[in-house]
Chain A
């Protein structure tokens, strides 16, 4: 099977799984919106204050939503044995991991990106700042999916894996958070956010290179 065909097969399979469990796919997105919504209640409706904290709040909520949405990536495949079949079939597991991460990004990352728009407007963000926020999230969400796929592969099928994935992954997400939040903070001050965005892009490339290997190794270990 050619690499492209494998990726397409995995993608198609993931979309079908998501279509069957639409509600389950929607939960992290609802959580994302809810988490952001809590802050006006906590801090008061004053948009001046909200617009200052909005980028950080949205970033944190996106990270939390990602750490929850990534948990079930391999669960059903593990449970029904198809993961073992994939491993035995000789298909490169790294490619499977990459495809799964891409599927997660399309199903969980992109919707979060789109939901950021109304949320940011609701929190009073300027269009210029919003643009940088979206750019940083677009780059960061790719990393979130890639890292999340590796950690999800490590913890597949374990009891309490939902919380465990979050515990393992949040420290690893911190650099993304730092660069994403400071990019938007710079934009809010009218400064250039180029450096931070370059760092995020660099982290994305690093993740693209290394995480598929980690995912494949993790799957092989857990399947043994």
Chain B
């Protein structure tokens, strides 16, 4: 098991693995998302309470789920960086942050848009939305810190510490924001609570959730490959890859 992990901790092997992975992961993502969107927009029956506006759920919920999933992945990478100094983890951390921020942004925007027909205002200081907003700033901070440090390896390791500080804070923030929102008599029924959900509504949601996850991994692979080439730019294997490379990369 550790030999397997050790092998892919090497940048060269990871690069090759990521190329092979991307070849089937990208089409899979497309299929899952198309199925999810078609299922969500067409096959899912109209909601009794919210009409067709509930269909935003198929974007909002997977985005919100990914915004946390990516952060947890980054936290895992952070531990690898600080304990074992794994280079691949450094690159994964750096490349995941903008993706996580994108998902968080998407969750916030779709949450806000969904709120307008339901609650009449473009923004409500709902506990979950507010926590997402704070999460966005945690992501931006991680990106800002890495941009401020020139040495990419030191930057990744500093970002790892910041990520772990953030991960300890996330439950604290979540709980304190919930405390805060009930205190000031926020809306007691969260529209994002799903009552027992119809199967035809649930399946597209699952498809989109898995699709978003494979999207994250695909997009991450592309970013990581670029970064790996930068890290190892002086090595022979990179030289070989670059010189035998004609036209477009083998896959997204």
A residues apposed to B, CB below 8 Å: 147, 150-151, 154-155, 158-161, 164, 167-168, 170-172, 174-175, 178-179, 182, 185, 199, 203, 206, 210, 214, 217-218, 221-222, 224
Chain A hits for B154, CB < 8 A: 221-222, 224
Q: Is the CB–CB distance between A214 and B165 below 8 Å?
A: yes
Q: Is the CB–CB distance between B158 and A218 below 8 Å?
A: yes
One of B7-15, B39-47, B140-148, B190-198 contacting the partner = B140-148
- Chain A contact surface mostly: helix
Q: Is the CB–CB distance between B161 and A214 below 8 Å?
A: yes
Q: Which of B144, B149, B164, B169 is close to A175, meaning CB atoms less than 8 Å apart?
A: B169
**B137 and chain A: residue at smallest CB distance:** A171
Chain B hits for A175, CB < 8 A: 169, 172-173, 175-177
Q: How large is the interface on B (under 10, 10 to 19, 20 to 34, 35 or more residues)?
A: 20 to 34
Q: Is the CB–CB distance between A161 and B148 below 8 Å?
A: yes
In the bound assembly, the distance between CA atoms of A213 and B78 in angstroms comes to: 15
B178 → chain A closest CB, angstroms: 10
In the bound assembly, the distance between CA atoms of A219 and B11 in angstroms comes to: 27
Q: Known contacts A167-B140, A167-B141, A171-B138: does B148 contact A182 (CB below 8 Å)? A: no
In the bound assembly, the distance between CA atoms of A159 and B145 in angstroms comes to: 11
A140 → chain B closest CB, angstroms: 12
In the bound assembly, the distance between CA atoms of A86 and B82 in angstroms comes to: 21
In the bound assembly, the distance between CA atoms of A159 and B148 in angstroms comes to: 7
Chain B hits for A159, CB < 8 A: 148
**A159 and chain B: residue at smallest CB distance:** B148
Chain A hits for B149, CB < 8 A: 158
**B183 and chain A: residue at smallest CB distance:** A182
Q: Is B180 an interface residue (CB 8 A)?
A: yes
Q: Is the CB–CB distance between B168 and A210 below 8 Å?
A: yes
Chain B hits for A168, CB < 8 A: 141, 144-145, 162
A73 → chain B closest CB, angstroms: 16
Q: Is the CB–CB distance between A164 and B158 below 8 Å?
A: no
Chain B hits for A217, CB < 8 A: 82, 161
User: Can you list 17 residue pairs at the A/B interface with Cβ under 8 Å?
Assistant: A154-B158, A160-B148, A167-B137, A171-B134, A171-B137, A171-B138, A172-B165, A172-B166, A172-B169, A175-B169, A178-B177, A206-B168, A217-B82, A217-B161, A218-B161, A221-B154, A221-B158
Chain B hits for A161, CB < 8 A: 148
Q: Is the CB–CB distance between A203 and B140 below 8 Å?
A: no
Chain B hits for A158, CB < 8 A: 148-149
A66 → chain B closest CB, angstroms: 16
In the bound assembly, the distance between CA atoms of A179 and B148 in angstroms comes to: 32
Q: Which of B165, B175, B176, B183 is close to A150, meaning CB atoms less than 8 Å apart?
A: B165
**A168 and chain B: residue at smallest CB distance:** B141
A98 → chain B closest CB, angstroms: 16
Q: Is B225 an interface residue (CB 8 A)?
A: no
Q: Is the CB–CB distance between A222 and B158 below 8 Å?
A: yes
In the bound assembly, the distance between CA atoms of A184 and B148 in angstroms comes to: 38
In the bound assembly, the distance between CA atoms of A133 and B29 in angstroms comes to: 53
Chain B hits for A178, CB < 8 A: 176-177, 179-180
Q: Is B157 an interface residue (CB 8 A)?
A: yes
In the bound assembly, the distance between CA atoms of A30 and B197 in angstroms comes to: 56
Chain A hits for B173, CB < 8 A: 171, 174-175
A154 → chain B closest CB, angstroms: 5
Chain A hits for B82, CB < 8 A: 217
Which residues in window 123-140 of B have CB below 8 A to A? 134, 137-138, 140
**A171 and chain B: residue at smallest CB distance:** B137
In the bound assembly, the distance between CA atoms of A217 and B161 in angstroms comes to: 7
B32 → chain A closest CB, angstroms: 33
A55 → chain B closest CB, angstroms: 14
Chain A hits for B172, CB < 8 A: 175, 203, 206
A147 → chain B closest CB, angstroms: 8
Q: Which of B148, B161, B176 is close to A221, meaning CB atoms less than 8 Å apart?
A: B161
